[in-house]
Amino acid sequence: MNTLHIAKKEIVSALRNKSTFLFMLAFPIALMLILGLALSNAFSGSIEIGDIKMAYKIDRASPALTAGWENFVKAAEESGVAVEPLPPGADGKQAVTEAQYAAFADVSDQGIAYYDNSRSTVESNILQGMLTSFADRYNLEAAFASAGASSQAGSGGQAPAQLVKATSLTADSQPNSMDYYAVAMTTMIALYAALNAASLIESERTRHTIVRLSAAPVSKAEIFAGKVLGSTFINAIFIVAVMLISHFAFGANWGDHPAHVLLVLVTEVLMSIGFGLAAGMIFRGKSSHSFLLIFIQIASFVGGAYFPVNDFGGFIGTVSYYSPLRWNNSGVIETVFSGDTAPALWAASYNLAGAVVLLAVCMFLIRRRETI
């Protein structure tokens, strides 16, 4: 009960703080509007098909599969997609990681193992769609063949070209600038929760109220849990508000799985609060705020808050994978625009793991102190 009592007080205090509204609501909405309008041309959704390269390896395949695959390769090349056999001795996965190819397909009678590079989301989606269509078509033909029907009917040279057409890659499945910045700004303010969290415990110290809290029959764990709960709740409220405003005012698309999207964002808030609390306890005072501001700005920059970072390679590309914004943006965008909830669940899992570790560190530090 004391946890809820403390959480309630945190919520009331946050709602009375005008700067909280300014920072958590006005700031992301304004930035979303400015970036969304200013950079709308960068999100036209078109891509040069000729740029897409996929490597493949085919072995232990039946003659029918080999023939079907060759037809697929030919038709794909006619559409401007280069599908090349993997050079002897090369490692397909490594080649994709190094961005030599957008994807690698390992084809055998057991199926197609497909590896893509998440830095090339659009190219990967196209290739994945083409391969899915190929697999469907090939299975259909095999079924016809086993049923004694003519395997030539409706197939041959025509079919692979239709395969490409069969995959729907409409503009709606890609985020426009407002969609992108709605997600990016929301994940960014979730990260900013760390800034307030840094002073959750330390502010009690500066206001001397820590004396009363510590003298009351309340455990350190209850105080800590109340603070985290209240802060998570209030940040979640602001995030839902930003989502609703971006949707109804700017038409941002939040997809068909809002619960999954919210799960990603709330777990990101929890992780950020853990991070902020830990920073507040380790650095204390204003230096924790400076540290967090620098960290959040760098994480936002390399994590795609101000522009998409999918195409980045090299050092920044590598660093971006360590930004919480990167995996949260990807998790939300892929869930919203592909309809697949797995990326959201992965992102939420990373967040939760981070939150557990960081909150455990905070509890350890608190237990070592005589007063919270």
**DSSP H helical ranges for 207-306:** 209-215, 220-250, 258-283, 286-303
Task: Report, in Å, the least distance between residue 2 CB and other proteins.
Answer: 6
**Cβ proximity of 332 and 266 under 8 Å:** no
For 235, the token pair is: 């940040």
Q: Which is nearer to other proteins, 19 or 170 (CB)?
A: 19
Q: Which is nearer to other proteins, 4 or 357 (CB)?
A: 4
Q: Which is nearer to other proteins, 212 or 286 (CB)?
A: 212
Residues that bind other proteins (CB under 8 A): 1-2, 5-6, 9, 12-13, 16-17, 207-218, 370-371
Which phi and psi (to 5°) does residue 202 adopt? -65, -30
Task: Report, in Å, the least distance between residue 11 CB and other proteins.
Answer: 12
Task: Report, in Å, the least distance between residue 35 CB and other proteins.
Answer: 33
For 291, the token pair is: 């540290």
Task: Report, in Å, the least distance between residue 207 CB and other proteins.
Answer: 7
Q: Which is nearer to other proteins, 16 or 60 (CB)?
A: 16
Task: Report, in Å, the least distance between residue 210 CB and other proteins.
Answer: 8
The alpha carbon torsion through 243, 248, 253, 256 (nearest 10 deg) reads 80
Alpha-carbon span 357 to 96, nearest angstrom: 32
Task: Report, in Å, the least distance between residue 217 CB and other proteins.
Answer: 4
Q: Which is nearer to other proteins, 17 or 40 (CB)?
A: 17
Residue 59 amino acid letter: D
Task: Report, in Å, the least distance between residue 238 CB and other proteins.
Answer: 18
**Cβ proximity of 198 and 280 under 8 Å:** yes
Alpha-carbon span 231 to 11, nearest angstrom: 7
53-58 and 103-108: which strand pairing? Answer: parallel
Residue 334 amino acid letter: E
Task: Report, in Å, the least distance between residue 189 CB and other proteins.
Answer: 22
Closest CA to 246 of 307, 179, 192, 304: 179
**Cβ proximity of 190 and 268 under 8 Å:** yes
CB burial of residue 188 (10 Å; 0-12, 13-18, 19+) = buried
Task: Report, in Å, the least distance between residue 211 CB and other proteins.
Answer: 5
**Cβ proximity of 54 and 128 under 8 Å:** no
- Cβ atoms < 10 Å from Cβ of 343: 20
Q: Which is nearer to other proteins, 20 or 132 (CB)?
A: 20
Task: Report, in Å, the least distance between residue 212 CB and other proteins.
Answer: 5
DSSP letter assigned to residue 86? P
Q: Which is nearer to other proteins, 238 or 254 (CB)?
A: 238
The alpha carbon torsion through 41, 45, 50, 52 (nearest 10 deg) reads 120
Q: Which is nearer to other proteins, 2 or 173 (CB)?
A: 2
Q: Which is nearer to other proteins, 12 or 316 (CB)?
A: 12
Alpha-carbon span 171 to 45, nearest angstrom: 6
Report residue 32 CA to chain centroid gap.
Answer: 18
Q: Which is nearer to other proteins, 234 or 279 (CB)?
A: 234
